[in-house]
A and B are shown apart, each in its own frame.
Chain A
């Protein structure tokens, strides 16, 4: 005990770990009251390891848990113990930010105050905080977390153990998103626009204005001219009341699939029965299709890594290669125009050959294709496995040909008896339950934006950052006569084109239900009061329905809403499904724009978390990336910016040569100012070198 303390500073009064320090606890239990060590103590210079983690290395007791975390869990060894004996120091040796998407876990692992949360530094003492259990909203996992609250502020977020879901870990995204809660961009009061000017107002006026406006349009132009769009991060209750209210007003145009472009397969059934996250651990073959899994679903990536380490084979097929930090058997960056016809059809073809099975409907489409060795390998990997899983991620789901890709994925899965997992976005499983989907003959997201409706109701939607075609969204809203936004954060397009803004409570401020990838219903209560005058979304929607004089909106708590959903759901029958089969594989595009939503830009809360925006991986998003060969072919280089043209839009971005990107592709991160200016995720673009600025 004494040995641990002799070189440990006795600065507990200013240490952020104070009150929850394992060393402090031990010394209270076993230590002496007085120090017998009278020599000078060791002092270690602190290292800057990025915006999320604060180091106080003098306090380090060299337990090396953080080093082992990197080796064994995160799969990337960034921290090490350099030097030896008393001179041993934990650090990166060369100062740099940690890149692991799970790095924040070392804060929890460090038993003393050597590694602490940088944003939380000096903000509060452990004993002032009350803990409130809840669910993280940013990916499809629903990690179990605890909010640490002082007065009415979330001071930090830590994981709660749940073996079935996040085990003991938490992604940096879920840990640090709370910092967006107090952003200056939060909407504090209800607002209405009068003669082009925003005015704050009381709730009653705002609600009445909203209802009058919407009802007015319905009366004048018919309910077909009203569209409702809601963010997939909204709770189950919000989703349910949103569609119930709008359907009550008569419209069929409702959707939550904001970044989807291709809806041809909306009748296909991709649901997963009895599948749990822990099943990944038992999987012996895993294929990732169009998913940068570490960024998209960090906790699922962690599970896959553990499976890979215990012997599962992993293949990664995408428009770019990525470092998965695990052993990967096959990795292919596919030219955008080859994805469907060549790669996926090739794998399917190889499977029909191997199994002597004939997918009759596909016979003509697959044609005479001769599978490449890569395609044969993946086919073998899947068909030889006892328990294979195929994950389809955002890069496919947001693609303009998503239906074709997913149909092929489904074919491959059924030929090889593989579990097909279409990775959901945030709480979208709840939205499927709640039916924030178009009714028969109703419009989907794309149709709504492209039809220039008279009125829109938006909930939690930033029309520029959260949609597939910011250009269309902007134009549609501009032309609309009436727009209601139920949002938590200000955004330019809303400020410019909305007529009523109703401030909604955010994550941590409201109760609700999250349905993750494995269909578990996780209920949570609000931990803090909503900012300013904002209200929980489900209450706003209920009152909107009341003001609209609709029946069936007598819910007093969000539990009432859940009860109603459950009973309705139990009565309802599964809609008939039929698989989508493409007519042909159209070969598109000479140069395809590849749009990935960066890890820390997937929703408004994240985009307002300062610390996450400061991370190097986030900052790396302001460039276009292309491989050397492609750049040579098009006569551009990285010395000068390039001009990317899509239709009438064009932007100029610095070019970075990145050989991980597939041929025929140029990568520009979505949900950034640059991508908004391009106007559409994916799609054909042209590229030229920008001239030297004069």
Chain B
């Protein structure tokens, strides 16, 4: 099993976050070449489409397609925004890109700006990321001093400014339109879509929003070609992806491996389940994605389509491992609490429903559950699902539905006996 370093390609170097380190792996050469050769944006777009790069922020939307929605020739300002809000429980990959390889993200954003016709970029970093913010700011300074940002970049007629923006603790700001609201200095409440950001984004201007990992992949794609990147992964699932292996594994960590790698291999890479215990369940893509029972998970490949076959989603690649000792009721209670805390409050089903779900699950966990509660939970979750402005509503419903579907007996046991099954808790 091999690691395939795309976003982490400087990780073998000392002080991997510096401009020097990044130049050692060929950093900024792509930018230099495309500016020198006045490469046509259409050509870049073609490469990105060929690469089958899919959004690493959670939805897995093809990046080339997203970029092609931008009205490139429309006069006036357009924006590229990077989503480094990283808040999905189980996810901590963008933090490491910012800390260890910020220049690759900067180069990716400049290239994205060039391609979609944006003159300004913002990187929205969550407020708690003090160290990553500092690293990113330092990298920006280096890049600016090296003439890689600002007016007439590297002597060309291309101008591009890039700024950091910071959040202040709100998971919902990871949702792209909430992020834009937040960037405009408002509460992070998602906007109705349509209009989509490509038409009406930041300050009402056309805007493309991508995840940190997505944008950091761009320079490598252009260096080696879209087809090369596509071939690393599987059909329509191009490239490597960082998987955050957390929970009950022996060696938790971020592992960047080709898409399509069997889950079993990835688990091995992370040292296997802790204490040699057996695998009970896996949340493959962050808490918003449905839980998959362990035995089923072991049959799946780590790609968007592969996980889809197992009835879940690859999401942000946040793999949460739970061993046999895990109480699924308690796990779900914690997840439900998260969505209850983080609902922005705009949509009634989400605002009111997330609190309802949490309170009922809490009651069950505390041994006060009633027989009708299980069906009620599923029914309430179904009523939230699909009835909200943004996907947080769906994200809150998915764990409830999947946990009860796969581990109903455990919930039933709690209701009947008032406590956990043996060996769990």
Bin the interface of chain B by size. 20 to 34
- Whether B359 is near chain A, meaning CB under 8 Å from some CB there, is yes
The answer, yes or no, to whether A127 is at the interface (CB within 8 Å) is no
Determine chain A's interface SS by DSSP, over half rule: loop
Given the known inter-chain contacts A3-B383, A36-B376, A81-B187, please indicate yes or no for A86 contacting B355, CB distance below 8 A.
yes
With known contacts A37-B356, A39-B356, A85–B344 Cβ distance under 8 A:
yes
**Using an 8 Å CB-CB cutoff, how does the interface string of A1-34 with B read, 1 for contact, 0 for none?**
0111011000000000000000000000000000
Contact of B356 with A85 in the complex, beta carbons under 8 Å: no
B345 contacts which of A4, A37, A62 (Cβ < 8 Å)?
A62
Q: Does B114 contact A (CB under 8 A)?
A: no
Chain B positions 222-266 with a Cβ under 8 Å from a chain A Cβ: none
Number of A residues near B (Cβ < 8 Å) is: 18
Residues of B within 8 A of A3 (CB): 348-349, 351-353, 356, 383-384
Q: In the complex the two chains form, is A7's CB within 8 Å of B376's CB?
A: no
Task: Let me know if A83 is at the binding interface, CB within 8 A.
Answer: yes
B346 CB contacts on chain A under 8 angstroms = 62, 64
CA gap between A484 and B3 in the complex, in Å: 103
Decide yes or no: A85 and B383 within 8 Å by CB, A4-B352, A6-B352, A7-B352 being known contacts: no
- In Å, the complex CA distance between A3 and B356 comes to 9
B355 touches A84 (CB 8 A): no
- In the complex, identify which listed stretch (B43-51, B284-292, B325-333, B335-343) lies at the interface while the others stay far away: B335-343
Asked whether any CB of chain B lies closer than 8 Å to the CB of A258, the reply is: no
Q: Could you say which residues of chain A place their CB within 8 Å of the CB of B356?
A: 3, 6, 37, 39
- Check: A88 CB closer than 8 A to any chain B CB: yes
A61 at the interface (CB under 8 A from B): yes
Among A3, A4, A36, A81, max chain B CB count under 10 A is at A3
Interface string of B165-177 (1 = CB under 8 A from A): 0000010100000
A15 to B341, CA, bound (A): 30
Counting CB contacts under 8 A, is B91 at the interface? Answer: no
Residues of chain B lying within 8 A (CB to CB) of residue A85 = 340-345, 351, 354-355
Give the chain B neighbours of A6 by CB distance below 8 A. 352, 356
Structural contact, A86 and B348, CB atoms closer than 8 A: no
Q: How far is the CA of A64 from the CA of B186 in the complex (A)?
A: 15
Q: For the complex, what is the distance from the CA of A4 to the CA of B384, rounded to whole Å?
A: 12
User: Are A39 and B348 in touch, CB under 8 angstroms?
Assistant: no
Within 8 Å by CB of B340, from A36, A64, A83, A86, lies A86
Say whether B170 contacts A86, CB under 8 Å: no
Instruction: Report how far A606 CA is from B341 CA in the complex, Å.
Output: 48
| Contact flag A83-B352 (CB < 8 Å), given A3-B383, A36-B376, A39-B359 | no
Interface residues of A in 499-535 (CB under 8 A from B): none
Report the minimal beta-carbon distance from B352 to chain A, rounded to whole angstroms: 4
8 A Cβ contacts from A112-141 to B? none
Chain A residues within an 8 Å CB radius of B340:
85-86
Tell me if A86 and B351 are in contact (CB < 8 A): yes
CB distance from B346 to the nearest CB of A (A): 8
Using CB atoms, name the residue of chain A closest to B359.
Answer: A39
B289 to chain A, nearest CB (A): 21
| Closest Cβ–Cβ distance, residue A35 to chain B (whole Å) | 11
Q: Which residues of A contact B170 (CB under 8 A)?
A: 84
A48 to chain B, nearest CB (A): 23
Contact check, A88 vs B348: say whether CB atoms are below 8 A apart. Answer: no
* Bound: A83/B189 CA distance, A: 12
Contacts of A36 in B (CB 8 A): 376
A4 touches B348 (CB 8 A): yes
Beta-carbon contact of A81 and B353 below 8 Å: no
Measured between alpha carbons, how far is A81 from B172 in the docked complex, in Å? 16
CA distance A62 to B354 in the complex (A): 16
Least Cβ–Cβ distance between B363 and chain A, in angstroms: 8
Cβ–Cβ contact B383 & A62, under 8 A: no
Which residue of chain B has its CB nearest to the CB of A64? B346
Inter-subunit contact B352/A84 (CB<8 Å): no
| Interface mask (B368-389 → A, CB under 8 Å = 1, otherwise 0) | 0000000010000001100000
On chain A, the residues within 8 Å of B351 by CB distance are 3, 62, 85-86, 88
| Set of chain A residues within 8 Å of B344, measured between Cβ atoms | 84-85
Using A4-B352, A6-B352 as known contacts, say yes or no to A88 and B383 having CB atoms under 8 A apart. no
Contacts of A84 in B (CB 8 A): 170, 172, 187, 342-345
Which residue of the partner chain B has the closest CB to A84? B345
CA separation between A6 and B352, bound complex, in Å?
7
Contact of A86 among B172, B187, B349, B352 (CB under 8 A): B352
- From A62, A85, A86, name the one whose CB has the most chain B CB atoms within 10 angstroms: A85
Docked-complex contact A61 and B348, CB < 8 angstroms: yes
> What CA separation (Å) do A39 and B363 show in the bound complex?
10
Shortest C-beta distance, A504 to chain B (Å), equals 52
- For residue B151, give the distance in angstroms from its CB to the closest CB of chain A: 32
| CB atoms of A88 and B352 under 8 A apart | no
The distance in angstroms between the C-alpha atoms of A83 and B349, with both chains bound, is 17
Q: In the bound complex, what is the Cα–Cα distance between A85 and B360 (angstroms)?
A: 18
**A86–B376 CB distance below 8 A:** no
Residue-wise, chain A 86-104 has the 8 Å CB interface mask toward B (1 for contact) of 1110000000000000000
Nearest to A63 among chain B residues (CB) is: B348
Instruction: Mark interface residues in A196-207 (1 if CB within 8 Å of B CB, else 0).
Output: 000000000000
Q: Within the complex, what minimum Cβ distance (angstroms) separates B82 from chain A?
A: 24
**Which residues of chain A have C-beta atoms less than 8 A from B354's C-beta?**
85-86
Complex: A84 Cα to B186 Cα, angstroms: 12
Q: B residues within 8 A CB of A86?
A: 340, 343, 345, 351-352, 354-355
7 nearest interchain CB pairs?
A88-B345, A85-B343, A3-B352, A39-B359, A86-B355, A85-B345, A3-B349
B residues bordering A, Cβ < 8 Å?
170, 172, 187, 340-346, 348-349, 351-356, 359-360, 376, 383-384
Q: A3-B352, A85-B341 are in contact. List 14 more A-B contacts (CB 8 A).
A: A3-B353, A3-B356, A4-B352, A7-B355, A39-B356, A84-B170, A84-B172, A84-B342, A84-B344, A84-B345, A85-B343, A86-B355, A88-B345, A88-B351
9 residue pairs of the A-B complex, CB under 8 angstroms, read: A3-B353, A4-B352, A7-B352, A62-B348, A85-B340, A85-B341, A85-B343, A85-B345, A87-B345
